């Protein structure tokens, strides 16, 4: 009496994807606070950076850190933030990375 197909040969078995660096959601509140502090020090208005904070967190926690960094580059190209601000945010993203 066999036990049947194992997980890897079973029809419809999921393939494992490569682990992606993503935002560590355990410290999301601390990350959000630090992100707001960076924007405030850069002189960005609170009304302007509220949506930027949400977009950065969404991209970093759901897609990957690399996608969030690409988004930061587009913000620099559109001149919404400076390169120094983008570098500080990128460093903050790197500190709060977890592979999932």
Structure token digits, residue 40: 């405030």
Q: Give the pLDDT confidence score for residue 37 in this predicted structure.
A: 95
- State the Cα–Cα distance between residues 6 and 2, nearest whole angstrom: 11
* Domain boundary assignment for the chain: 21-99
Residue 4 has pLDDT above 90, yes or no: no
- State the Cα–Cα distance between residues 6 and 23, nearest whole angstrom: 33
| Lowest mean pLDDT segment, chosen from 12-21, 55-64, 91-100 | 12-21
Structure token digits, residue 49: 């950076």
Q: Provide mean pLDDT across the span 80-96.
A: 95
pTM (2 decimals)?
A: 0.80
């Amino acid at each position: 009496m066999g036990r049947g197909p194992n997980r890897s040969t079973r029809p419809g078995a999921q393939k494992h994807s490569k682990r992606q660096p993503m935002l560590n959601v355990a410290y999301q509140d601390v990350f959000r606070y630090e992100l707001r502090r960076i924007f405030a020090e850069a002189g960005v208005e609170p009304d302007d950076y509220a949506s930027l904070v949400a977009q950065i967190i969404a991209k970093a926690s759901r897609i990957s850190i690399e996608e969030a960094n690409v988004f930061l580059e587009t913000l620099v190209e559109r001149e919404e933030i400076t390169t120094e601000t983008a570098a500080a945010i990128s460093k903050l993203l790197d500190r709060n990375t977890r592979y999932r």
